[in-house]
Structure 1
Amino acid sequence: MKYQIFLAAALLLGACNRDKNEVGTEGMNAAATEASDAAANPTVDNPNVVSENEAPNPNAPVMKFTESEFDFGDIKPDTKVHHTFAFTNTGKSPLLIEDATASCGCTTPSWTKEPVAPGAQGTLEVQFDSRGKQGIISKQVAVRANTQPTITTILIKGNVLTADAKKPL
């Protein structure tokens, strides 16, 4: 009797699974077709790129950094170093930095909060904390502003020494 119940249950489960696989295969084929169509005709909505239909704003602010990269050189372990990047608004309208985001939690940006008039200068200070770091570092800061494109990237780099490393005299 137990054998007959087991056999009946196995047949029922096998029949259910077969139905699911057939439906699943059809669904997977449809999903694969949709994915290949999307790959053949990709549409990307990138707010940092002016579309073909949209002309660039000739009056937009322009953020021009004096330097877009800074090398700290050798950095002592467990120290904080900082560098101030200067920029000028070479555009025709006030520049406003909305946000600055670092590629790592060990890097902290702070920037001019008030609008920077055309021809005026602003600053962006970047602090790097070497605690827990060792060797060559390279960190990016993405600055989002009302410029075209909206994101400008600056870079800091350096070499975090080991605790037992001694600098030559």
Structure 2
Amino acid sequence: MKLKFLAITLLAAVSFLGFAQDGSGPKLQMEKMSHDFGDIDKGSKVSTAFQFTNTGDAPLEIKNVKTSCGCTSAKPEKSVFQPGEAGEIPVTFNSGRFSGKISKSVTILTNEVAENGGEAQTVVKITANVVTDIVAKPMSLFFPRAKTGQVAKQEITVSTNKLDRLEISDIKSQPAYVTVDQQRVDEKTVKLIVTVDGAQFPEGKSRLSGYLTYKTNSESQADMRASVTINIQKPLRVTPGSVFMFASKKGKERKINLRVESSEEKDFKLSDIKSSLDYLNVAVAEDGAKQKRLEVTLSDKAPVGKFNGTITMNTDLDAQARVVIPIRGSVVEPQK
């Protein structure tokens, strides 16, 4: 009986493989596997159609069509095609976010049986070279070490590939600490001088963001935008920036060192150093002119459980009169 069952199983498997390999069943035959749009203008939408035929002897079902990004759309006219029936999958590409050479894919999932016995999938590709009227370099700005109370500047060079003369107007920027001026280089090039004013930075922030917008005389790229990211370099640098004392053992004292140093190589003084937690003490272990080492001690009397708090200290620097360091941790029962 077992031998008979095994023979039937093997026969079914052989029949299935033969079904997948001899061309029977549905079969998707593409007319082309790729399409090149060539040079296209930035902001334009271009379309093509991937034509196909069901060359099998059973109905072909297109179960799903997936694109590699939201810039591409593809949807078949219907989902089921009879043997010998032809169809097409329209594909549209939106070039608004791109420039230069691009390549995108469209994956077609059907009920055709693949060689491994699973559902077959077919991948077609589209390519293009997105040509821009306007080129802005860089497209965004990053100020890595802006200082409170000081001014920093960077430039964006805006140029045209096609226009006889580039015109820039209606320049706007946000927030108030970001301002923009323009400077013409030649008929086809304008520089945008972007200034960040550290005197207007909001207090208590280490990272800020803003943006600028402007208009050009290009029909396809009339509205332009650039983001501005600012890291504020404060006069004092604390390492580490937060105190973490998780999994501290109950009844056991624990120590961590903090280093406070001048990022400008200037002398400074600390005073009124405090911890918001009664069982956590902070003391100056090394008191150099430009660098201090603080010793943070968690008392052996600290209760079991999580804790959150702050270490605060005053300085003699107008640009950073107060330093606040977060504290997080926990005290656990020792393992037996």
TM-score class, shorter-chain normalisation, is 0.5 to 0.7
The structure 1 residue matched to 2:71, chosen from 84, 88, 106, is 106
Instruction: Work out the CA distance in 2 between the residues paired with 1:60 and 1:112.
Output: 22
Alpha-carbon offset, residue 148 of structure 1: 2.6
Alpha-carbon offset, residue 132 of structure 1: 1.3
Aligned 1:32-111 pairs, distance under 5 A: 55=17, 56-57=19-20, 58-111=23-76
Return the letter of the residue paired with 1:154: V
Residue 131 of structure 2 corresponds to which residue in structure 1? Answer: 161
Contact preservation (8 Å) 2:63, 2:79: no
Change (3 A) 1:72 1:115: same
Answer yes or no: is 1:144 the counterpart of 2:114.
no
Higher relative contact order (CA 8 A, sep 6+): 1
Contact preservation (8 Å) 2:40, 2:129: yes
SS at structure 2 position matched to 1:98? strand
- Structure with more helix by fraction: 1
Alpha-carbon offset, residue 162 of structure 1: 1.5
Alpha-carbon offset, residue 113 of structure 1: 1.7
Gaps of 5+ in 2: 1-12, 115-119, 135-160, 164-336
Pick which of 141-150 and 86-95 moved more: 141-150
Deviations 1:99-130 (A, max 9, x none): 10001110000103241111110110110000
Find the structure with the greater CA-based Rg.
Answer: 2
Contact preservation (8 Å) 1:144, 1:151: yes
Percentage identity across aligned positions? 35
Contact preservation (8 Å) 1:102, 1:141: yes
Residue 48 of structure 1 corresponds to which residue in structure 2? Answer: none
Residue 121 of structure 1 corresponds to which residue in structure 2? Answer: 86
Change (3 A) 1:92 1:155: same
Return the letter of the residue paired with 1:166: K
Contact preservation (8 Å) 2:58, 2:82: yes
The root-mean-square deviation of aligned C-alpha atoms, in Å, is: 2.1
Contact preservation (8 Å) 1:96, 1:113: no
Alpha-carbon offset, residue 147 of structure 1: 1.0
Residue 239 of structure 2 corresponds to which residue in structure 1? Answer: none
**TM-score under structure 1 length normalisation:** 0.64
**TM-score under structure 2 length normalisation:** 0.33
Instruction: Work out the CA distance in 1 between the residues paired with 2:97 and 2:123.
Output: 25
Change (3 A) 1:162 1:91: same
Contact preservation (8 Å) 2:103, 2:127: yes
Alpha-carbon offset, residue 133 of structure 1: 0.5
Instruction: Work out the CA distance in 1 between the residues paired with 2:63 and 2:113.
Output: 13
Return the letter of the residue paired with 2:162: K
SS at structure 2 position matched to 1:147? strand
Instruction: Work out the CA distance in 2 between the residues paired with 1:110 and 1:64.
Output: 17
Instruction: Work out the CA distance in 1 between the residues paired with 2:95 and 2:14.
Output: 44
